[in-house]
Structure 1
Amino acid sequence: METAVRTLFDRYEAFFNRSLAGDFDPDEVDRLYASEFIGASPAGVMTGKNDESLRKAMLDGYEAYRTMGTKHMRLRGLRITPVDEHHCVAHAAWTATYARDDLPETAIDFDVHYLVQTLNGEPKVFGWMAGDEQALLKGHGIL
């Protein structure tokens, strides 16, 4: 399972950076995410379906990231905690790089904890837990 989950996050990183560059592949969303998911942050808990509403939210999100100057997302570490033969928590350590005319290049480290299910050898994200992204960005002068 560990090798498959690491491959999933390599694809996730590549997908994120392609999407930042304006090359969003809706079919990759289906390969990365389960049919339903849960997300949690200090803003609350939400659930959703891997459907057109997720794709629109992601497109809007990548546009917002571009507007705030996000240039690159790098997966700098991944620790996997197995739960059983089908599930794990993938603790992802990310570095986001921002640059704008009014902002010097700024790298921000943050962690997200993903819930991953592997069925038939194929891992997919079905949830995540993240910290306060807005406060982190404000603290670094991005917002």
Structure 2
Amino acid sequence: MEDTMPARQYKDFFQKYVEAYNRGLKGDLDTELIQSFFTEHFLAAGPDSVETGSNNITFSATLRKAYSFYQKIGTREMHVRNLMVTPIDRFHDMVKVYYRADYTPQGKPIKSIDFDVTYFIQLSEQGPKIFGFVAGDEMQAYRDAGLVS
């Protein structure tokens, strides 16, 4: 195993992640595939909380609920615009992914929202796995864009 993954391999990793996300938005949600990007246990941090999660049936249910919400507000597609890799040590990296998401709210023109998420990645013989992520205020971004009230 290399000390750290090159940025190109992370681009491939997150492109596959986004492809799975986009298939889920179109109604072909494969929770097992999405769960395969995560370690057995992980951290999720937002502006108001830090939570731990387990990669189990509860996570699968959370994914189903989240995708239902994303579809309801008109999320159409996610794109990786760029990413920045910061090595932590030979087993871990931090990857900041810059996304653009396209939304088509009912009866309104397409809106795009740019945002980023910082992921903490564990490297193993099985490949990279997300063991934590830090996201911004997703709900405020939706309010600002008029997608939710």
Matched residue SS, 1:100 = coil
Match of 1:78 in 2: 83
Give the Cα separation in 2 of the matches to 1:94 and 1:81.
18
Match of 2:112 in 1: 107
Match of 1:51 in 2: 56
Percent identical among aligned pairs is 32
Match of 1:90 in 2: 95
Match of 1:133 in 2: 138
Equivalent pairs, count: 143
Q: Which runs of 5+ in 1 are unaligned?
A: none
Give the Cα separation in 1 of the matches to 2:9 and 2:37.
12
Match of 2:128 in 1: 123
What displacement does 1:78 show? 1.0
Matched residue SS, 1:71 = strand
What displacement does 1:39 show? 0.6
Match of 1:63 in 2: 68
Larger relative strand fraction: 1
Matched residue SS, 1:46 = strand
What displacement does 1:121 show? 5.0
Instruction: Give the AA of the match of 1:74.
Output: H
Match of 2:32 in 1: 27
Structure 2 length as normaliser, TM-score? 0.91
Q: Which runs of 5+ in 2 are unaligned?
A: none
**82-91 vs 23-32, which moves further:** 23-32
Give the Cα separation in 1 of the matches to 2:16 and 2:25.
14
Structure 1 length as normaliser, TM-score? 0.95
